[in-house]
């Protein structure tokens, strides 16, 4: 069985506030474990990794220039 991570530990690992974590949980961006209604909320390592993957935006490669100089426009 995977180790369960508390809300406070999960927020610290992700580098976000508890409020942001709760908003992500309530909006369905991150999966969680809750044994009884209105009970403690836990997260798994896999759910944290999945959340990171969902929130990651890949950088677009920049266009290569032939030269580093800015060529002046001719008048």
* Residue 56: both structure tokens together: 């990651």
**Residue range 3-37, pLDDT digits in tens:** 999 999 999 999 999 999 999 999 999 999 999 99
* DSSP class of 27: T
Spatial CA neighbour of 8 closest among 40, 38, 35, 34:
40
pLDDT in tens, 57-70: 888 877 776 666 77
Q: How far apart are CA 17 and CA 21, in angstroms?
A: 6
Domains defined along the chain, listed by start: 5-55 (1.10.1660.10)
């Amino acid at each position: 069985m995977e180790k369960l991570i508390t809300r406070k530990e999960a927020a610290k690992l992700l580098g976000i506030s508890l409020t942001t974590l709760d908003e992500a949980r309530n909006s369905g961006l991150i999966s969680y474990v809750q044994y009884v209604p209105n009970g403690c909320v836990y997260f798994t390592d896999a759910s944290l990794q999945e959340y990171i993957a969902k929130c990651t935006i890949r950088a677009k490669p920049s266009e290569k220039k032939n030269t580093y100089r800015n060529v002046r426009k001719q008048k």
